[in-house]
Amino acid sequence: MSRAIGLLGGMGPAATVDMMARIIAATPAGGDSDHLRLFVDCNPQVPDRNAAIAGRGASPAAALAAMARGLERQGADMLAIACNSAHAWADDIRAATTVPLVSMIDATVATILRDHPAKRRIGLLAADACLDADLYQRPLRDAGLEIVLTADQSGFMTLIYGVKAGDVGTDARVAMRAIASDLVADGAELIVAACTEVPLLLAAADSPVPFVDATDALVQALVAEATR
């Protein structure tokens, strides 16, 4: 019997819907009853993670913990966060609940090390909060890998906030492809979409080097855990 997934979402809403759709697509099912049960709290009022990490805004810890408790009460057997940066408060979520949190960070790093062991220079497309919290840099450095960051982080953040405002048009897609190409020009051998808004603008087919999508890595880990 499969186990239910509780998804902390709304950071942003479009990325949450994207993750839900991917969970459905990744689940082996012959009909409705074969799919996984999802409990989703799509809460766009969670305080901004980038402002919080920078010391310019309220911490999202209390909101995330409350969401996690609510999902557990509804019947979730495991939790996941549809936001990379919110993993900076993963310990607050774990402390508030008794069910496991499946980490997007852990799933993505494991995918990189398993599927691309020869790649040593990792181009990281991540939001300010994710970078400032060292969520990916630390485990990747511990694995002996080098991190390549965009020289246009402010432009990247403009694109991310644009997605949150509904801009996934051609110009935004072209701009995100250009940022990925610049990472490759700076020596990146692998691109990591370490923000859940990135794959709404950039697909593996758009990347000039191998591409690891954190959303997909988490989805694969969740479906495996829920169905094992």
**At 208, which CATH number?**
3.40.50.1860
Total of domains in the chain? 2
DSSP characters over the chain: ----EEEEE-SSHHHHHHHHHHHHHHS--SSGGGSPPEEEEE-TTSPPHHHHHTTSS--SHHHHHHHHHHHHHHT-SEEEES-SGGGGGHHHHHHH-SSPB--HHHHHHHHHHHH-TT--EEEEE--HHHHHTTTTHHHHHHTTPEEEE-S-HHHHHHHHHHHHTT--SHHHHHHHHHHHHHHHHTT-SEEEE-STTGGGT--GGG-SS-EEEHHHHHHHHHHHHHH-
Choose the catalytic residue: 82, 83, 160, 221. Answer: 83
Choose the catalytic residue: 7, 61, 194, 195. Answer: 195
- In terms of domains, do 199 and 139 share one? yes
pTM: 0.97
Residue 83 is a catalytic residue: yes
Read off the tokens for 51. Answer: 């402002």
d(Cα 148, Cα 13) in Å, to the nearest integer? Answer: 28
Q: What range does the domain containing 210 cover?
A: 104-214
Segment 17-44 shows an average pLDDT of: 97
- In terms of domains, do 108 and 205 share one? yes
Per-residue model confidence as pLDDT tens digits over 113-166: 999 999 999 999 999 999 999 999 999 999 999 999 999 999 999 999 999 999
pLDDT value at residue 61: 98
- In terms of domains, do 45 and 74 share one? yes
Residue 130 is a catalytic residue: no
Contact 87, 65 (CB under 8 A): no
